[in-house]
Amino acid sequence: MASIAEYYAGKNVLITGGTGFMGKVLVEKLLRSCPEVKALFLLVRPKAGQSMQQRVSDMMKCKLFDRVREDNPDFHQKIVAVSSELTQPGLAISPEDVERLNACVNIVFHCAATIRFDEPLKHALQLNVLATQQLLGLAHQMQHLEAFIHISTAYANCNRKYIDEVIYPPPVEPKKLIELLEWMDDGIVRDITPRLIGDRPNTYTYTKALAEYVVQQEQGKLNIGIVRPSIVGASWQEPFPGWIDNFNGPSGVFIAAGKGILRTMRANNDAVADLIPVDVVINLTLAAGWHTAVHRPKTSLVYNCTTGGINPFRWGEIEHHVMSSFKRNPLDQAFRRPNANITSNYLINQYWVLVSHKFPALLYDLFLRLTGQKPQMMRIFNRLHKAINLLEYFSRQDWEWNSENMNMLMNQLTPEDRKTFNFDVRQLNWPEYIENYCIGTKKYVLNEDMSDIPAARQHLRKLRNIRYTFNTLLVVFIWRVFIARSQMARNIWYFVVSLCFKFLSYFRASSTLTN
Ligand SMILES: CCCCCCCCCCCCCCCCCC(=O)SCCNC(=O)CCNC(=O)[C@H](O)C(C)(C)COP(=O)(O)OP(=O)(O)OC[C@H]1O[C@@H](n2cnc3c(N)ncnc32)[C@H](O)[C@@H]1OP(=O)(O)O
Ligand SMILES: NC(=O)C1=CN([C@@H]2O[C@H](COP(=O)(O)OP(=O)(O)OC[C@H]3O[C@@H](n4cnc5c(N)ncnc54)[C@H](OP(=O)(O)O)[C@@H]3O)[C@@H](O)[C@H]2O)C=CC1
């Protein structure tokens, strides 16, 4: 039987979301580990004044592609950008491109989605559900299609505590919802969204659940696989450890904590933090593509791609390792020394938000105003609180996923493929991974130079000294106010001072005697 790389040799692959975080890693891995792949067709839209061609060529210049570039400097010739806006009818693909794709595509990876937690329902539905439906329609016309892999999320069914590798009945019939929202005014949709999404926390998880059902409904004769990653984090090993390029999920939280901005967050210390490295997800996705095409399972397989049941690590441990990593490798120009704590207690968290977030932000903004600058800290904290409020649902509880299909898939691979497309998370050393993750946020998200670390450490020492001085002044000030107002405070003060004085006199006398 063909190995994974042998299977992809000579194949034309269609990828949606190829410019996104996971899409880029998928493109890179395919080019590097399956060098005989024929062509990668990326559905891309123009964005922010850049043409799709420009976007794809910029993407290929990214450091992520350094290893591929070394192996094959002409790798860009295998990438074919196809103009497409997934929210438009027919995915806005030109008739010529449709014809070309129908004639040659062998395998589809559908990664595109809106992953925003605050996306208006109509838009999330359009992109996550309707675009999936339209892509499946296109896939049905492809004459040589062997597999269609849909990327979902392990949290599509986060309203359940135990999540099996099955497609659950949808919260609502997607077709009916689409018809309903079509004529509704955006304001009304916004008002009824909480009722519609019910016990799910956001429109993202809700529409991803509907998309899975659509995939099942529209499957027809296609060979389909669904991959459900949990919280996708920086790369573990490939193409190099710690690669990450965005603020999504925990990355933004780590950065905010490393910069000393985030000091408190609601999370359960003992809950499993189901992070999964992006390279693990991509290796499993490519293996799932191979398995779906070669073995053609009778029913579509769902792969829960998670770590919690196999190699669990908890939020409390993450907090500890993130903090110690940022103390060893500090970020540049930290606002305060990194010292974030998580707590599941609402009141304790509110207290620290007030004391450690709002109060310093107010003070700093006052300082900026007094020095003729524009205040900004309160605005930053408001945005941070908004992001954190949306994430806390996932950090305050845990879930149990069945990941039998992940094990089954691993057992189907040759020993060589198990190494090249490694998704065995039992080997993951969490402290080392978190260290590389934090360094990755510094190097690749914030574009900070590692050679500036001594200066960053020096800056932390300065912040520590400022803190000590500030605390001392504060204690002296409070005590001074007390003494001025309370006889009892004055008595205690005189008692302590005379005690110190007596002790000093005794010490001086005894040292004179011994001399
Ligand atoms: C050390 C302590 C230990 C901590 C332990 C606890 C950690 C808990 C972490 C739990 C993570 C759980 C994730 C669950 C994921 C579910 C899995 C998935 O399927 S799906 C995948 C998961 N999907 C997601 O993660 C999507 C979540 N994100 C969103 O939905 C939106 O970005 C938004 C609503 C948060 C903000 O919207 P909006 O106000 O319109 O603004 P913009 O979007 O334009 O961004 C504004 C600014 O905020 C920045 N920033 C962004 N994100 C974060 C962050 N997480 N944080 C901080 N900052 C963040 C952003 O860079 C920007 O800065 P700047 O460039 O202006 O300077
Ligand atoms: N990141 C995570 O933690 C997790 C992600 N997932 C799933 O993995 C998949 C990929 O996520 P991730 O890479 O993180 O997401 P990103 O937001 O990084 O990427 C999304 C991709 O979708 C494309 N896209 C969005 N809207 C459109 C549109 N209207 N037309 C064409 N393309 C569009 C984006 O293109 P453009 O560059 O033009 O914006 C981008 O390439 C998603 O399906 C997500 O649900 C699942 C679990 C966790």
Residue 494, pLDDT score: 86
Q: Tell how strand 39-44 and strand 107-110 pair up.
A: unpaired
Supply 201's token pair.
């926390």
Residue minimizing CA distance to atom 57 of ligand 1: 252
* Ligand 1 pocket, mutate which of 226, 228, 248 (most atoms under 8 A from CB): 248
* pLDDT tens-digit profile, the chain (515 residues): 789 999 999 999 999 999 999 999 999 999 999 999 999 999 999 998 888 999 999 999 999 999 999 999 999 999 999 999 999 999 999 999 999 999 999 999 999 999 999 999 999 999 999 999 999 999 999 999 999 999 999 999 999 999 999 999 999 999 999 998 988 999 999 999 999 999 999 999 999 999 999 999 999 999 999 999 999 999 999 999 999 999 999 999 999 999 999 999 999 999 999 999 999 999 999 999 999 999 999 899 999 999 999 999 999 999 999 999 999 999 999 999 999 999 999 999 999 999 999 999 999 999 999 999 999 999 999 999 999 999 999 999 999 999 999 999 999 999 999 999 999 999 999 999 999 999 999 999 999 999 999 999 999 999 999 989 988 998 888 888 888 888 888 888 888 889 998 888 888 888 776 66
**Closest ligand to the CA of 391:** 1
Residue 475, pLDDT score: 87
Domains of the chain: 4-240+273-312+397-422 (3.40.50.720), 455-514 (no CATH)
Residue 514, pLDDT score: 66
Residue minimizing CA distance to atom 39 of ligand 1: 383
Pocket flag, ligand 1, residue 268 (CB < 6 Å) = no
**Closest ligand to the CA of 276:** 2
Number of neighbouring beta carbons within 10 Å of residue 124: 27
Residue minimizing CA distance to atom 14 of ligand 2: 21
Pocket of ligand 2 (CB under 6 A): 17, 19-23, 45, 47, 84-87, 111-115, 127, 151, 153, 208, 229, 231-232, 248-249
What is the Cα–Cα distance from 65 to 356, expressed in whole angstroms? 41
* Ligand 2 pocket, mutate which of 14, 15, 16, 19 (most atoms under 8 A from CB): 19
Nearest to 59 by CA among 116, 15, 105: 15
Pocket flag, ligand 1, residue 163 (CB < 6 Å) = no
* Ligand 2 pocket, mutate which of 14, 15, 21, 230 (most atoms under 8 A from CB): 21
What is the helix (H) or strand (E) element at residue 280, kind and residue range? helix 278-295
Residue minimizing CA distance to atom 35 of ligand 1: 387
> How far apart are the CA of 67 and the centre of ligand 1, in A?
29
Residue 97, pLDDT score: 97
Atom of ligand 1 nearest to the CA of 231: 17
**Closest ligand to the CA of 116:** 1
The beta strands (E) that lie in 101-171 are given as: 107-110, 147-151, 162-163
Specify whether the CB–CB gap between 154 and 274 falls below 8 A. yes
**Closest ligand to the CA of 109:** 2
Nearest to 151 by CA among 226, 208, 234, 246: 226
* Ligand 1 pocket, mutate which of 47, 117, 356, 434 (most atoms under 8 A from CB): 117
> How far apart are the CA of 248 and the centre of ligand 1, in A?
4
